[in-house]
């Protein structure tokens, strides 16, 4: 399995179509192994922190919920 390595420049250049394709793969959950799915999930999560506008329609796939640290 390759490690997740994507630069800020690559994320900045991503299109909505690329993120949609990633989200479709995650929704279909049809991976050869669990690690491929986990890789895509981490990629979507990385994109969400830098380009939340692209991930907003797919945030349900990340299961991110606000939490109170107090």
> Tens of pLDDT along 19-31?
999 999 999 999 9
The closest of 56, 60, 44, 34 to 11, measured between CA atoms, is 44
The whole-angstrom separation of Cα 1 and Cα 39 is: 9
| Mean pLDDT (the chain, rounded) | 87
Rounded CA-CA distance 27/12 in Å is: 23
Model pTM above 0.85:
no
- Residue-level length of the chain: 70
Element at 50 (helix H, strand E): helix 34-50
Q: What is the pLDDT of residue 1?
A: 43
- Locate the domains of the chain by residue range: 8-61
> Does 35 score more than 70 pLDDT?
yes
């Amino acid at each position: 399995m390759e490690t997740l390595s994507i630069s800020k420049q690559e994320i900045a250049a991503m299109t909505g179509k690329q993120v949609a394709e990633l989200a479709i793969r995650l929704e279909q959950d049809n991976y050869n192994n669990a690690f491929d799915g986990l890789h895509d999930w981490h990629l979507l999560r990385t994109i969400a922190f830098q380009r939340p506008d692209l991930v907003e329609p797919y945030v349900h796939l990340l299961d991110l919920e606000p939490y109170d640290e107090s």
